[in-house]
Amino acid sequence: MRQKARKFGKYALVVTVLLIAGLRFVDNGDPEILHGRATVSDGDSLRLSGERIRLLGLDAPELAQTCRQGRDVKPCGELARQALKKLTAGREIRCEPEGRDRYGRLLARCYSGRDDIGRKMVSVGWAVSSGDYRFAEAAARIAGSGIWTMTFDDPADWRATHGHDGEPEGFWSRLWN
């Protein structure tokens, strides 16, 4: 009986050591912090170090989305993209990934120096908060900044009726996204 227990203990020790050693080589899904110059895709996403990144905590108008300001139709999706370009132009950007979305983009909080870029986009009125930047959104509303000077559909509502890229969602678009 003792011999079986010792043999079992040795096997258990070997298996434990192999498991611990193997864990060092398993991808834990936590990508490293990215640094560099970013290329802006739209009002809430960019490219950095070869990665597509979706900023966390906000939702900006889609590129094809328009807003109304009185009788005028404004390209608020493009204006949001221009605002993000202005915040990142010529600056070293640091992104701290927290996972991936259904499109394979990194979900991250990104910074220019100490400035949280997502918070800044919401506070200047070119994105709505998706929970993290409620106070910044309230301040932008009160100040009448960015999209808060216009009538607009919430970006999520707009996507629901127009699709991710401005095309209506359908069977084929869901397959490719």
Mean pLDDT of 85-91: 96
Predicted confidence (pLDDT) per residue in 112-153, tens digit: 999 999 999 999 999 999 988 999 999 999 999 999 999 999
CA distances from 92 to 37, 113, 119 (A): 5, 8, 17
Q: What is the DSSP letter of 166?
A: S
- Report residue 2's pLDDT band, with 50, 70 and 90 as the boundaries: low
Taking the C-alpha atoms of residue 168 and residue 162, their distance in angstroms, rounded to an integer, is: 4
Domain ranges in the chain?
34-167
> How much of the chain exceeds pLDDT 70, in percent?
75
How many Cα atoms sit within 13 Å of 124 on the Cβ side? 17
Which burial class, exposed, middle or buried, applies to 46 when counting CB atoms under 10 A from its CB (0-12, 13-18, 19+)? Answer: buried
Residues 17, 72: contact at Cβ < 8 Å? no
pLDDT of residue 15: 42
Taking the C-alpha atoms of residue 171 and residue 177, their distance in angstroms, rounded to an integer, is: 10
Predicted confidence (pLDDT) per residue in 5-23, tens digit: 455 445 544 444 334 333 3
Predicted confidence (pLDDT) per residue in 133-143, tens digit: 999 999 999 99
Assigned fold of 34-167? OB fold (Dihydrolipoamide Acetyltransferase, E2P) (2.40.50)
